[in-house]
Structures are given as structure tokens and as C-alpha cells.
Structure 1
Amino acid sequence: MPEAAARFHVAGKVQGVFFRASTREQALRLGLRGHARNLADGRVEVLAAGDAAAVEHLADWLRHGPSQARVDALTREAARADEAGEGFAVS
């Protein structure tokens, strides 16, 4: 299966609503590695690497996030798989 990597920036009500922890759960369920972290401007950055179909599933999930969140915008850019490291970190 082809490997893919992507960096997402999620804007809206995404901090303080378990967005990062929920993203980690989704990513681990999909077998992805990477990270989810809060940014100073109120967005969450998600880096995900692994099976291309799994990255697409995570991208679909990020469009709405957990029930407490409100996603106003989702941007995506290419990333290198080696940036993801091992496991899925939350910071």
C-alpha cells in the first residue's frame, strides 16, 4: 500500500474541546503516526503519515472533529513521512 503524509491546519473551535486527543485516537485506530498540537493562533496542526487511504480517512474526520468542536476551515499541504516519527504525539 502506498504511504502518504500530510500536514493539516484546522481552524474554528478546536482548542479546549479534546480535539487533539480525539485526533490521536482516530490516527492510532487508522495506524497512522505523527502529531497533533495547538498553535498560538488558535488552530490545531496535525501531521499524519502512513497508508494513503488511512490519511484520507483522517482528513475526512478532521473536517468535523469530535462532537464538542466546530471546524470552520481545514487546509492541507504535502509533508514528508519522515517528519512524523514513531507513534502519534499530542503537544
Structure 2
Amino acid sequence: MPDPDPQPSGDNALLVIKMISGLEKEFELTTSEVQDFIDWYNGRADGRGKETYMFDKDFNKGPFTARKDYVVFSKIQSFEVMEYTK
């Protein structure tokens, strides 16, 4: 039987979130960041926490001091975690 609460085992992961609109969002994250997202998702599924999750994008900032991507829980269809070690 699969583990109902798997723990990431790689150093990094590509998180792919499929939205109900069909849009896919990809985030390259550390294991800790993936676990934070999974904890938020599970908490929100139980009715706890904020409706949105913020990803801090530290790449391709251009002239901006910060880039943030907010994902709305109710708009998520599914997500996939692909772990790897650099």
C-alpha cells in the first residue's frame, strides 16, 4: 500500500501543478520548499491555512526586485513532484 504522506527523498524537485483551467505551472524547488507546499496543500484540504500559496521566483528577475507567483488552492486540479539530486 502506498505511503499516504510521502516524504521527499531527493535534494531538489520539479513541482508541476496542473490547474483546473488546463494551465501547468512548473517550479524548481528544494526538498524543503516542496515539503512546505505539500504541508500547505494538505492543511488547506483540511480547511486550514490561506487560500493561496506564494512561490518566490528568484530567477529571470530582470529589472524587478522580486517576482512572486501565487497559486489558488481551489484552482488546483493536481500536482506532480519529480525529485532529483544535483
Answer whether TM exceeds 0.5 for this pair: no
Length-normalised TM-score, structure 2: 0.36
Q: Which has the larger radius of gyration?
A: 2
Length-normalised TM-score, structure 1: 0.35
Greater helix share, structure number: 1
Which one scores higher on RCO, CA 8 angstroms, separation ≥ 6?
A: 1
